[in-house]
Amino acid sequence: MTPFTATWTLFLVGLLVATVVLWAALRGRADATQRWTLFGIAVGNWAISTWFTFDRIGSGAFPDFVLSRNWPLHFCTICTFLLIPAMLATKRQWWAHPLQTLLFFPGALAAFLALVAPGKEYEGDGFWVMGTLFYAVHGLNVLLPFVHAGLGLYRPRWRDAALSLVWFTILALGVLVATLLCRAFVDPAANYMYFFDPEGSGILVLLWNLIGIPVVYEIPLLFILYPVLLGFVAAQRGIERLPGLLRRRRPFAQPA
């Protein structure tokens, strides 16, 4: 698929419909049913991601798509895996809220940005091809956290928008260390989380052109995206209140 084409738009509409349908199907069910259903989808999503990655590595059609540059260290790949425990976790587990915060805010946003500005190798494909799995996986990385929150299994707080950037920064520093080690001892072209090259990724290209310093050029993202993350909370709170507002609407007066 190519962004902003009819096929791509149809895919996004389908993703939105799937989100609403899944939420409606699980609404009112027991918590355990909701968690295990989302857990099963998350496991399937991770399996698709893994299959897609190794299929591309083994195909030979993409000479730059090699194992040393596709360890599970890309942020969206990390999120795809972390969704598995996050969907099953309960509020009693101390790590649940920080993990779900990371996935609801920067995780879902990064996945959506990947749908809007994918790498060049994912553009131009038809709909029913392996490349479409890239869009499916990232679409589920958006869908799952929002359905999870919509069901009340995770309730984002206003302060979570800022805290999510703290968790993201800690994770990014760990990935940076791993990337530097990989570049030093395995593959000098390793570029996890786009630390050294935006690789045609939307807003990162703009920041690279403005700053041009590896790693440093990504720092403004924390300030640029923060208002967007606050918008996530506002949207979620609005959706929470919508059923109550609809119930409070007075029916039209009946004619005498």
Closest CA to 195 of 207, 179, 182: 179
CA dihedral (55, 70, 125, 60) positive or negative: negative
Which amino acid belongs to residue 85? P
Using the predicted structure, report yes or no on whether residue 256 has a pLDDT greater than 50.
no
Token pair for 215: 């790693």
The structural domains of the chain, with segments of one domain joined by +, span 6-239
Q: pLDDT digits over 125-153, tens only?
A: 555 566 788 899 999 999 999 999 999 99
SS (H, E, C) 100-167: HHHHHHHHHHHHHHHHHCCCHHHCCCCCCCCCHHHHHHHHHHHHHHHHHHHCCCCCCCHHHHHHHHHH
Q: pLDDT digits over 78-120, tens only?
A: 999 999 999 999 888 899 999 999 999 999 999 999 888 876 6
| Entry pTM | 0.89
Closest CA to 20 of 256, 189, 239, 245: 239
The set of residues, in sequence order, having a beta carbon less than 8 Å from that of 145 and lying 6+ positions away, is: 83, 86, 100, 103, 104, 107, 108, 154
The neighbour count for residue 104, using CB atoms within 10 Å, is 26
Using the predicted structure, report yes or no on whether residue 155 has a pLDDT greater than 70.
yes
Q: In this predicted structure, which of 56-60, 98-102, 158-162 has the lowest mean pLDDT?
A: 56-60
Residue 124's pLDDT band, with cuts at 50, 70 and 90, is: low
The set of residues, in sequence order, having a beta carbon less than 8 Å from that of 155 and lying 6+ positions away, is: 149, 236
Token pair for 93: 């587990």
Of residues 58 and 16, more confidence is placed in 16
Which amino acid belongs to residue 13? V
- Helices and strands per DSSP (H, E), number in the chain: 9, 0
CA dihedral (138, 143, 149, 152) positive or negative: negative
| Full DSSP string of 224-245 | HHHHHHHHHHHHHHHHHHHHHH
**pLDDT for the residue numbered 63:** 78
How far is C-alpha 123 from the geometric centre of its chain's CA atoms? 19
Highest mean pLDDT among 4-18, 53-67, 174-188: 174-188
Token pair for 34: 């909701």
Asked whether the beta carbons of 83 and 103 are under 8 A apart, the reply is yes
Which amino acid belongs to residue 176? L
Asked whether the beta carbons of 125 and 3 are under 8 A apart, the reply is no
Helix (H) or strand (E) holding 51: helix 31-59
